[in-house]
Structure 1
Amino acid sequence: MKSSENNGSLRRAPHLLSLLVAVLAAVGMWYVVSVRDRLEAQVEVNIDYYGIPPNLVVTDGLISKITVRLRGPETLLRSIPQQRLTQAVDLSDIKKGVTVVPLGGDNLGPTFRAFELVDIQPPRIVIKADTLMERSVPLRTIVDSPLRGGALTVENVSVSPATVVLRGPEDVVSDISSVPLTIMLDPKAAGTTVHQTITLDTPSLVTANPPSVRVQYTITSGRTVVSRRCKVELAGENRRQYTVEPEEVTVLVEVPEALAKSARYLGQLEVSVTPPALEPEQSKKVELRFRLPEGMTLLNPATEEVTVSRKKK
């Protein structure tokens, strides 16, 4: 009888040993998957917005990205796509004024549901919105010129259309009584009728319809040809080591009539030459360089090259 009981105990012992090994293996696998290989990772997520009510415009608070810190198995963390991560945020519930939109696990997409969410920065988005307003306003022309006042005279300025519709935040649009339209005159177009298309400059978040207008005007002041005798200047740090021949050249230029006798304006015409690398007593033909003031046009110069020589040591 005792021999039979001993045999039963011996048979149960291997079974218990196998069960113990299986339990230890399961615990080890659980530790490897759930504990030992659980890591943290930080990723940047770009934010896309949708659902903004059609009667509102967001004036502040639209951040472009958030930083998300995750914890999870290393194998899963490595599976996060390396390409651009994007999360859509619904703004359909925002109101005029300030609305706080929380960012939590429930707000993030399915990409992050397999992970423990450790932190989100910022944890919320503070949105400022205003009522979207449309208003028709006239254009206010401002005639400007790169030349001194009175050098160019303008007549028959016309703008089409004369009014535009502004669309944007109520706080901004309601304070706009007109849109400035700056017309920058081209001195070289003196004596002609000019046609231009000018894009309107509006405040941030405000759009104009149409965004650009057609402008026509006539510059009544004419242009005339002036002959100038100019000294050829040597440029560069070692200019004293060189000479130039001829030392002066005659230049024909076209200028606005109102500036044809202005010594200050005409004196802005400069003629120069940069000496090449030369040995002492060597010479070389070099092209002239011209610096013209605004509104001046260079006609055919009497000469386009001069001779530059290096002095003896």
Structure 2
Amino acid sequence: MIKNWQTILLAVGMAVFTWFLVTGREVVETWVDMPVVMTNPPEGLIIEEGLVDKIQVRLRGPKGLVGNLSSQQLTYSLDVSKLKIGQQVVDIDADLLPLSSTYEIIEVKPNRLKLMVDRRISKTIALEPVWSGELNADYKLLDVVAAPDVVEIKGPETKLRKINKARVVMSEDFPEEVPKSWAENVGLELAEEVESSPGQVRVEAFFGPKTREIWVKMPLTVTPPDGFRASVSQDYVRLLIEGPIALFRNNEYRKDMVVNLVFGDAPRPGTFELAYEAVLPEGCRMVQKKPETIKTRLRKK
């Protein structure tokens, strides 16, 4: 009985050994992904296009070893020390793959890279501040300024060569109440490969009411100095004023207007051409008046 058990155990051991031996010798094919690691980059140069994150390697090898490849951290080192500015082709060298001679390399995808290489430079450019948004129809944009008004940008030389200014757009709506000014920190509109310093600038927009000019006929207020009587050549004047269009939609603005004849500090009897002053509604200014002076006769009481 003991001898029979020994024979059985020996047979089982031989079977297992034979299975491992046969399995280890079995050859299989598979694809392996390898991340690409760039080494020795030339100072000041950047790869604009064509660099891949990984390559795929099709290989053949013993089944037992191939099965363990997925647990190994295999990377392909791409030496870019000899790159020059412009487009160039770099071959993927199968001899540099981190694999032993146990494996047969069948195919590499891609087997070459078309790289676009550029120089990294910096330059100073002006900013073009812009406001974009909905605005009350009675108002208008007066000005937009940025602080600072110039920035330094860095990036590929071929792209920076075409950039002389950059837009900074502030988007804000004022459909009803409109402030005199509004400020925000705004980022620059630049290509993804281009960096700016600073990355944001302060943009301020200034608004004001839309205006128009109108002629207004106003009565002349005459208040003679103490001890005098005054007679004037006309008791009204015409004024050309500029003001907000919203103000002139009705005649209520006239309630805030007064025209006074100016006699001066040392009145005396006689006939004079006297000036007059007009008090205007807020936001209005005098453009022209007719007549410029009023013929006035002063007499003592």
Using structure 1 for the length normalisation, give the TM-score.
0.54
Q: Are 2:91 and 1:106 aligned?
A: no
| Aligned twin of 2:191 | 203
AA at the equivalent of 2:149 = A
Structure 2 distance, partners of 1:192, 1:83, is: 66
Displacement of 1:192 in angstroms is: 5.0
Q: Secondary structure of 2:42's partner?
A: coil
Q: Secondary structure of 1:106's partner?
A: helix
Structure 2 distance, partners of 1:183, 1:161, is: 15
| Aligned twin of 2:104 | 116
| Aligned twin of 2:55 | 66
Given the superposition, is the C-alpha separation of residues 68 and 147 from structure 1 closer, same or farther in structure 2, using an over 3 Å criterion?
Answer: farther
Displacement of 1:53 in angstroms is: 1.7
Q: Are 2:129 and 1:129 aligned?
A: no
| Aligned twin of 1:193 | 181
Structure 2 distance, partners of 1:173, 1:215, is: 23
Counterpart of 2:147 (choices 160, 163, 176) is 160
Displacement of 1:203 in angstroms is: 1.8
- The question of whether the paired residues in 2 share the 8 Å contact of 1:33 and 1:73 is answered with no
Given the superposition, is the C-alpha separation of residues 115 and 203 from structure 1 closer, same or farther in structure 2, using an over 3 Å criterion?
Answer: same
Larger radius of gyration: 2
AA at the equivalent of 1:108 = L
- The question of whether the paired residues in 1 share the 8 Å contact of 2:148 and 2:201 is answered with yes
Given the superposition, is the C-alpha separation of residues 105 and 93 from structure 1 closer, same or farther in structure 2, using an over 3 Å criterion?
Answer: same
Displacement of 1:114 in angstroms is: 4.4
Q: Secondary structure of 2:117's partner?
A: strand
Q: Are 2:209 and 1:217 aligned?
A: no
| Aligned twin of 1:143 | 131
Q: Are 2:43 and 1:54 aligned?
A: yes
Given the superposition, is the C-alpha separation of residues 35 and 191 from structure 1 closer, same or farther in structure 2, using an over 3 Å criterion?
Answer: closer
Using structure 2 for the length normalisation, give the TM-score.
0.56
- The question of whether the paired residues in 1 share the 8 Å contact of 2:32 and 2:70 is answered with no
Question: Which consecutive unaligned segments of at least 5 residues does structure 1 have?
Answer: 1-27, 223-256, 262-313
- The question of whether the paired residues in 2 share the 8 Å contact of 1:199 and 1:213 is answered with yes
Q: Are 2:63 and 1:78 aligned?
A: no
Question: Which consecutive unaligned segments of at least 5 residues does structure 2 have?
Answer: 1-16, 211-244, 250-301
Which has the larger share of strand?
A: 2
Structure 2 distance, partners of 1:152, 1:144, is: 14
Displacement of 1:96 in angstroms is: 0.7
Aligned-residue Cα RMSD (Å) equals: 3.3
| Aligned twin of 1:172 | 159
Given the superposition, is the C-alpha separation of residues 153 and 141 from structure 1 closer, same or farther in structure 2, using an over 3 Å criterion?
Answer: same
Structure 2 distance, partners of 1:51, 1:201, is: 33
Given the superposition, is the C-alpha separation of residues 187 and 38 from structure 1 closer, same or farther in structure 2, using an over 3 Å criterion?
Answer: same
- The question of whether the paired residues in 1 share the 8 Å contact of 2:24 and 2:63 is answered with no
Structure 2 distance, partners of 1:185, 1:104, is: 56
Structure 2 distance, partners of 1:141, 1:126, is: 39
Given the superposition, is the C-alpha separation of residues 124 and 144 from structure 1 closer, same or farther in structure 2, using an over 3 Å criterion?
Answer: same
| Aligned twin of 1:288 | none
Which has the larger share of helix?
A: 1
Identity %: 25
AA at the equivalent of 2:116 = K
Structure 1 distance, partners of 2:197, 2:105, is: 46
